[in-house]
Structure 1
Amino acid sequence: MEVSAHKDSFARDHLPPQQDWPELLLEGNPDVDYPARINCAQMLVDNMVLQGHGDRVALRWRDGDTLRSMTYQALMTLTNRIAGVLVDDMGLVPGNRILLRGPNNVMMAASWLGAIKAGLITVPTMPLLRAAELKKAIDKAEVQAALCDSRLAEELEYCLAPDHPSFCPTLKQVRYFHDDGPDSLDTLAAAQTDTFVSCDTAVDDVCLIAFTSGTTGKPKGCMHFHRDVLAMCDTFSRYTLSMNADEIVCGTPPLAFTFGLGGLLCFPLRVGASTVLEERLTPDGLLATIQDFGVTMTFTAPTFYRRMASLVGNYDLSTLKNSVSAGEALPDATRQLWKKATGIEMIDGIGGTEMIHVYVSSPPSEVRRGAIGKVVPGYVAQVVDEDFMPLPYGEVGRLAVKGPTGCRYLADERQHTFVQHGWNLPGDSFAMDEDGYFYYQARNDDMIITAGYNVAGPEVENVLLTHEVVAECGVVAKPDDERGNVVKAFVVLKQGHDAGPEMAKRLQDFVKTAIAPYKYPREVEFVDSLPRTETGKLQRFVLRQKARE
């Protein structure tokens, strides 16, 4: 590895041993042949200005009824000022971890870029997360500081309170944006200079810890280098999306998800294009955004495309050329519904937080019905059995992937599960045909993927079990035409409590107050007992079968 610029060595100290990394396909690939010293935020913003494109529009947004924009020059200035606040006012040093909390807006995007310019390691988080969920990420990454939208302050404040169960002892300071207070990020940034010398980071210095949730609900921190951020742009975006400088993109995935971070920020910035950042979008709202901003490419989950298909006649979508779907399996019925409504062939893709972005996909001209696609240039993949032997064409097995990016968990024994024999094992079952097209079958574990969100069944169970009326429960995925899956809870009530719609709503509301609202069970079925093995283990496969029925 290159000599690190980090004064705080936490990230390198907590990387898995190199023998536990996947094989990285870097040599001989000019697309990912980067200099030894590189700062990805500088490459995404400042380099565009240095190349004479400072007047191009980088960010767009809606301010009431007014459409606003920010040039690359202005974005460079804003990110420099934020970096100055982090270093001068907050005293942070390269390698420190900083939590980012906010919806998709200019300040959230600029905070991510400014923090990376300062050599910090960003830990972006979903706006919907509660204090207990934030604590898991903060404690795991030993986060020292945070930048947060002032409208989301309440849950983060609990993490600062010594008498609260979610108190985080490493978190020492927070600056809020969209706030006019004397210590707010906005006020401090306004007092900074326009210039900042970006940290001279190594190409393999960690700049992002992206958290994902496994089947146990125990968060896994995925550690990504400056090189990885650029590599996702120079593989999937370059070859499958063919993104160019004239694109205007928009979509629904949060910047805290690598799907959103790539599609809605890094990909367009890498080529001098622009992105529309919208904090909250309904299907109608996304269509209106496409129409009003002249959007050429959109990113969202299959659920949104299915809902939008019946509404497209109400909007002018003449500028839209490409639609990208990821986050969950794309049903062929949804693909065909969208194509019939718009004439656009969907770009489907499968990726993951561990790999930073999409590694199997196909451009519209190469789509094969029923398949997600082929490996993205720069990656290789195979379908293997339990002994890691490649399977014949058409047989279902485990997907194994290699490429210029790969899984490096933050101090987590599950590294040995995800990475085996130099390959990444994302936990998906696939079949491959003779032409190299991959056909998705199912997840290998108990993760529930609903409307593009990952929900761990055991995490929801743990919340339900804290309610006074719940004796036992099991949470599984139930197939759903619109959402792919919905979260379904099978609940055994304690004696003396009556089942029914009112009780179901009471439990649903309880879950919403404890963890992110999107994780609540949309269906609650009351049962007398749960299926268990002789050793007392819950048989989730029986519940899944019952949910399907």
Structure 2
Amino acid sequence: MSNQNPADRPDHSDDPSATPKHAAVTLTPTAHEDTFTRDHLPPPEEWPLIRPLDHPELLNCAAELLDGTIARLGADRPCVIGDHESLTYGQLRERVDRIAHVLVDEHGLRPGRRVLLRGPNSPWLAACWLAILKAGGVVVTVLPVLRAGELTTLLRSAEVSHAVCDARFLDDLTEASANLGDQAPDLLVYGGDGPDDLAARIAGPRADGTPADFTAVPTAADDACMIAYTSGTTGDPKGCVHFHRDVLAVADTYSAHILRPVPDDLFVGSPPFAFTFGLGGLLIFPLRAGAATILLERPRPEALLDAVSERGATIVFTAPTAYRTMLTRIGDRDLSSLRRCVSAGEHLPAATWRAWYEATGIRMLDGIGATEMLHIFVSATDEHMRPGSTGRPVPGFEARILDDQGRPVPDGEPGHLAVRGPVGCRYLADDRQREYVRHGWNHTGDTYVRDEDGYFWYRARSDDMIVSAGYNIAPAEVEEALLTSPEVEEAAVVGARDPDRGLVVHAHVVPRRGSTPDAALADRLKEHVRARIAPYKTPRAVVFRTALPRTATGKLQRFRLREGAADEE
């Protein structure tokens, strides 16, 4: 693979369909001894246009997030708060440095090697994530619910050399490792009670009497620091490679300009670190700001409310589904500490936004991000957020609505959302790079409309659009209408095959408690939709469910609903 960097290539803003010419600029010399990740990046002509922020050539993001923040604000500030322990910045740094020593001195971790990390959000998971990066490793954080077969696929894909795992989630990883034979990763465990547990191994003075401090590996800003695998609803997972500079870029764009945290903030949320929405919102952003973060192992909606009412959390990160559940359980809780509520992971309906505002007085921040882009790239500050709109491009990013040929469409017309900025998609050895990146733009796979004020309005995943008798029907619009009914808890809309119309609208509905899921309710909901949007968008069928199918990160699995619709035909 070539070591060219397309970051400085010419801007083709006036002709998005033109094939960009690539400047022959070399990447910064790597600090990685194992260059697997850099060697398996896409060729430069398949990169998006990337405009990095002004970061130094040598940059270790873990050292900047932890040591750099301590240098600015001190070591005694609260940092990570878990179910069983809380650590200051200084205490977290000591744990990080000791773990890094074990990885390097006792397990031979060399810069550039991939380290799988598995466990629920906790201070230990945060410490291990930072330690791997500080030691120059490339972290591959995975969901603790993945099974042995899924883990085997990821271990092979990233050629993982080491794995760090919460003791409670060891069985599937042990089975996956056995599948690899001689290629099995070197395994470290935390959270157990044996002498080989990391907690025991980092306790007390070092055996050789040397200081516990660990000097971060001086990685290049464009050295890989993580491979984030997509939590996609279908297909094989794709490994998204992100650099040390990318980690700071999302903090210095979205967090700095939209979220605007301060050192006294207290973060809490539901997404796991394996979901980059959670990694940014619950680790990168608070550490960059010198704030504290509550890391819940079981972040149910009630636990999020408890964190606000009992601990004074000020910033919440979760998905629309959780906000809707919390609305039914707020009761007389004191939520006065709340400053910001961030929603992402799926479309935020205007009805949910308004209900949350009426209940709390907080103007929720909607946003769209992607594993490929690391975090949110379209949003708006709370004072400028419009209900139902995702927002405008985050400062540092560009966004456009393009047609099938890559040409901009007029405001008010739907098209494909394309973005670019200081980060971008770089799949690990994956031909699907050419699908996601076209003409220098990252194509998110979403259909959007931009209005005359520059706000972006979600319509559908591009492959979810329902074309019925020649009409384009956006599932989100029908879902919005359904969710305005007091009898609907959740709703998802998909297309079902029809011999006359091609596709027809099927609505899958979770009724609110107290509503009877019968034919009468289905008829009422159809009339409710018909009274609010064009009649041709009214569902032909309403299917009642106790829950909607979702991934472990909370994303709706529409393909399972479509499969169900096919079975009903």
| TM-score for the superposition, normalised by structure 2 | 0.78
Determine whether 1:157 maps to 2:174.
yes
2-structure distance, mates of 1:134, 1:478: 34
- RMSD over aligned Cα, in angstroms? 3.0
Q: 2:389 touches 2:458 (CA, 8 Å); kept in 1?
A: yes
1:208-357 correspondence runs (5 A): 208-214=226-232, 216-357=234-375
CA deviation profile, 1:55-99 (whole Å, cap 9, x unmatched):
111111233xxxx42111111111001111110111110000000
CA deviation profile, 1:101-132 (whole Å, cap 9, x unmatched):
00010110110000000000000001111111
1-structure distance, mates of 2:386, 2:340: 16
Measured after TM superposition, the shift of residue 318 of structure 1 is 1.1
CA deviation profile, 1:404-434 (whole Å, cap 9, x unmatched):
0000000000000000000000100000011
Q: Label 1:446 to 1:122 Cα distance change in 2 as closer, same or farther (>3 A).
A: farther
Measured after TM superposition, the shift of residue 313 of structure 1 is 2.4
* Residue in 2 that maps onto 1:429: 447
* Residue in 2 that maps onto 1:14: 40
1-structure distance, mates of 2:511, 2:96: 39
Measured after TM superposition, the shift of residue 133 of structure 1 is 1.1
2:162 to 145, 148, 153: 145
1:2-81 correspondence runs (5 A): 2-26=28-52, 32-63=53-84, 68-81=85-98
Measured after TM superposition, the shift of residue 212 of structure 1 is 0.5
* Residue in 2 that maps onto 1:189: 202
2-structure distance, mates of 1:249, 1:385: 39
Measured after TM superposition, the shift of residue 340 of structure 1 is 1.1
Q: 1:306 touches 1:482 (CA, 8 Å); kept in 2?
A: no
* Residue in 2 that maps onto 1:133: 150
SS of match in other structure, 2:444: coil
Measured after TM superposition, the shift of residue 33 of structure 1 is 0.3
Determine whether 1:111 maps to 2:112.
no
Q: 2:380 touches 2:392 (CA, 8 Å); kept in 1?
A: yes
CA deviation profile, 1:230-283 (whole Å, cap 9, x unmatched):
000000000011111111000000011110000000001001000001100222
Determine whether 1:122 maps to 2:139.
yes
CA deviation profile, 1:456-492 (whole Å, cap 9, x unmatched):
x9xxxxxxxxxxxxxxxxxx99654699xxxxxxxxx
SS of match in other structure, 1:312: coil
Q: Label 1:282 to 1:543 Cα distance change in 2 as closer, same or farther (>3 A).
A: closer
Q: Label 1:282 to 1:143 Cα distance change in 2 as closer, same or farther (>3 A).
A: same
How many pairs were matched up? 469
| TM-score for the superposition, normalised by structure 1 | 0.80
Measured after TM superposition, the shift of residue 169 of structure 1 is 4.8
Q: Which amino acid aligns with 1:186?
A: A
Q: Label 1:266 to 1:523 Cα distance change in 2 as closer, same or farther (>3 A).
A: closer
Measured after TM superposition, the shift of residue 444 of structure 1 is 1.8
Q: Which amino acid aligns with 1:279?
A: E
SS of match in other structure, 1:281: coil
Q: 2:319 touches 2:554 (CA, 8 Å); kept in 1?
A: no
Q: Label 1:478 to 1:280 Cα distance change in 2 as closer, same or farther (>3 A).
A: farther
Measured after TM superposition, the shift of residue 373 of structure 1 is 0.2
Q: Which amino acid aligns with 1:116?
A: L
Measured after TM superposition, the shift of residue 215 of structure 1 is 5.8
Q: Which amino acid aligns with 2:310?
A: D
2-structure distance, mates of 1:275, 1:13: 36
Q: Label 1:52 to 1:246 Cα distance change in 2 as closer, same or farther (>3 A).
A: closer
Q: Label 1:25 to 1:520 Cα distance change in 2 as closer, same or farther (>3 A).
A: closer
Measured after TM superposition, the shift of residue 546 of structure 1 is 8.9
* Residue in 2 that maps onto 1:444: 462
1-structure distance, mates of 2:281, 2:384: 20
Determine whether 1:82 maps to 2:99.
yes
Q: 1:139 touches 1:168 (CA, 8 Å); kept in 2?
A: no
Measured after TM superposition, the shift of residue 285 of structure 1 is 1.5
SS of match in other structure, 1:431: strand
* Residue in 2 that maps onto 1:177: 190
Measured after TM superposition, the shift of residue 175 of structure 1 is 0.7
Moved more, 49-58 or 72-81: 49-58
Q: Which amino acid aligns with 1:146?
A: A
SS of match in other structure, 1:427: strand
Moved more, 11-20 or 48-57: 48-57
Q: Which amino acid aligns with 2:225?
A: C
Unpaired stretches in structure 1, ≥5 consecutive residues? 27-31, 451-456, 458-475, 484-504, 526-539
Q: 1:81 touches 1:194 (CA, 8 Å); kept in 2?
A: yes
Measured after TM superposition, the shift of residue 332 of structure 1 is 1.0
Q: Label 1:336 to 1:402 Cα distance change in 2 as closer, same or farther (>3 A).
A: same
Q: Label 1:523 to 1:10 Cα distance change in 2 as closer, same or farther (>3 A).
A: closer
1:393 to 411, 414, 420: 411
Q: Label 1:361 to 1:481 Cα distance change in 2 as closer, same or farther (>3 A).
A: farther
1:373 to 391, 397, 404: 391
1-structure distance, mates of 2:99, 2:259: 31
1-structure distance, mates of 2:552, 2:302: 24
* Residue in 1 that maps onto 2:112: 95
Q: Which amino acid aligns with 1:360?
A: V
SS of match in other structure, 2:299: coil
Percent of aligned pairs sharing the same letter: 47
Q: 2:48 touches 2:420 (CA, 8 Å); kept in 1?
A: yes
SS of match in other structure, 2:103: helix
